[in-house]
Structure 1
Amino acid sequence: MPYFETNDGVQLAYEDYGTGAPIVFLASWILNTDMWEYQVPYFLQHGYRCVMLDRRGHGRSDRPATGYDVDTRADDVAALIEHLSLDGITLVAQSAGGGEAARYLARHGDDRVARLVLLSSTLPYLRLTDDNPEGLPEAGNEADIAQLRTDRPKWFADRAQGYFATHLGNETSAALIDNLVRQCLSASPFATVEMRRELFNTDHRADVARITVPTLIIHGAADQSVPIDASSRRTAKLLPNSTYKEYPTAGHGLHITHAEQLNADLLEFIKS
């Protein structure tokens, strides 16, 4: 696996396959490049180049004590793009990766980005405040952080079925669920907590309003990790010219349970 060095000396791992038009995949909180195993082969077969990043504290990258704020993470994305001299990018961002994508565009512009895809995104602003009445109570997030610090494996295991919305008929094997939990636990415990608090409390409304590239927004209506009313339905209103799709039976893990539908929707958007 290749590495590159960020501005603050952190070694980040990435994967790079294919030679066509580039798709840069930004993973969810506590997941890494492995999460895209149902997307990468599909897009390679259709002639695209697939680039994936292990953000700091995740996967095979360094685990520094700093840099988990969204500005630094967005700059890490920029450093990868510059390192590989990528242009005409389709930026595909899942969950917390959506905040990195939006902040990257706000800080670095869209000269290198042709289009944006937001999957199950944490945008635009999750925390309940006086001027954000559709947000979620901060006490709930702090309770989750307390549980993560007490028994991190149990916290992920308890939420695995909801992640896939298996109660709506989405078939996932016990082995697949176990594999996902192992991926979640591979992230640094420190990074897990730091990013959890940061992504919940970061206001991206101004970032979203400034997006001008063609954008596709997809979210599962049964998402328990990032409720759709607090996230993508609001993001779509801030981007009235975006393409917006809801998957009625999908949870947060739609990149797995609805991979066939998702891949087809992504390909159609990229080709359009």
Structure 2
Amino acid sequence: MGYYLRVEPDVNIYVEDVNRESEKTILFIHGWPVNHKLFEYQFNHLPSLGYRCIGMDLRGFGNSDKPSSGYSYDRLADDVRTVVDELYLQNFTLVGHSVGGAISVRYMARHNGYGVSKLALIAAAAPSLTIRPDFPQGIPKEAVTNIIQNTYIDRPKMLQDFEGQFFFQHTTQPFSQWFLQMGLQAAGWSTAAVATSFRDESLFSDLRQIQVPTIILHGVHDKVCLYPLAVAQNKEIKNSKLVPFENSGHGLMWEEREKLNQELIKFIG
């Protein structure tokens, strides 16, 4: 079922909650520029195996409200905390993809991993999506700046071009339209604002504060969050395991969905 939760007086977050009676809870945090529907191929399968699957649309994306501000990692992590509190979640697995992985990492550090028993990072944008003087493994900041600029010039074309970087495997035209429509559900300003956050923010110290068992799932052909980011995550997070996806780019929840689902099942138990 779907419903809204208030995270600020004038901001409501949309939540899709499947199999609510189960005690095995997974909270999914989607990446940029889409929404919780990107986890469709997990929601299709995991609830039938006894898992409660909760997908929240980040503010500015999907069915959630789209305020003009509030797109820093801190604020987005605080939104996650409010959802956790409102749903009384305890002993749950937090799953974050791309910038959703970055927000999950910030949640673990900023809120001391409240309620989280296990963490799964899928193609996560951590510790830094972009190149820094002490971290050459990211993509150039200029590439993200171009995305931000093109968001304000021709957002549909920007999204269409981004899909070409997102997936390693071939996508059909209907699938491309589905991906495009998810991106268009967001507001232009929130699309640009979150891109600004993942261009400029970093999570080096946050990674070292994670104390729960962590699995890192990452496509070796990822052109968005390059594979060396996963290696850095594995190095910094205690009690973490890195699982490479040899036939995936950034969209491994679709490209190798059966493997990803099995890895999550094995990890969560």
- TM-score (structure 2 length as normaliser): 0.95
Give the Å deviation of 1:37: 1.0
Kindly indicate whether residue 60 of structure 2 is the aligned counterpart of residue 62 of structure 1: no
Q: Aligned in 2, Cα 1:266/1:233: closer, same or farther, shift over 3 Å?
A: same
Query: Residue 123 of structure 1: CA displacement?
Result: 0.5
Specify which of 161, 181, 191 is matched with residue 164 of structure 2. 161
Q: 1:31 Cα deviation (Å)?
A: 1.3
Deviations 1:203-259 (A, max 9, x none): 101111110100000110111122112x21211111253110111120111111111
Counterparts of 1:128 and 1:251 in 2: how far apart (Å)? Answer: 19
| Cα offsets for 1:26-55 (capped at 9, x unmatched) | 001121121111001311111011111011
Q: CA RMSD in A?
A: 1.4
How much does 1:186 deviate?
A: 1.2
Report deviation, 1:265. Answer: 0.7
Partner of 1:250: 248
Partners of 2:164 and 2:11 in 1: how far apart? 35
- State, as a whole percentage, how many aligned pairs show the same letter: 32
Misfit runs of 4+, over 4 Å: none
Distance in structure 2 (CA, Å) of the matches to 1:121 and 1:221: 13
Following superposition, the deviation at residue 7 of structure 1 comes to 3.3
Q: Tell me the residue number matched to 2:185.
A: 186
Q: Which runs of 5+ in 1 are unaligned?
A: none
Q: Which runs of 5+ in 2 are unaligned?
A: none
Equivalent residue, structure 2, for 1:127: 130
Partner of 1:176: 175
- Whether the 8 Å CA contact 1:172–1:257 is kept in 2: the answer is no
Quote the Cα distance in structure 1 between the aligned partners of 2:193 and 2:15.
22
For residues 212 and 240 of structure 1, do their structure 2 counterparts lie closer, same or farther at Cα, with a shift above 3 Å needed? closer
Whole-angstrom CA distance in 2 between matches of 1:201 and 1:159: 19
Q: What corresponds to 1:234 in structure 2? A: 232
Partner of 1:138: 141
Q: What whole-Å deviation, never above 9, does each CA across 1:171-204 have from its counterpart, x for those lacking one?
A: 4321111111111111110000010011121110
Partners of 2:224 and 2:139 lie apart in 1 by 12
TM-score (norm 1): 0.94
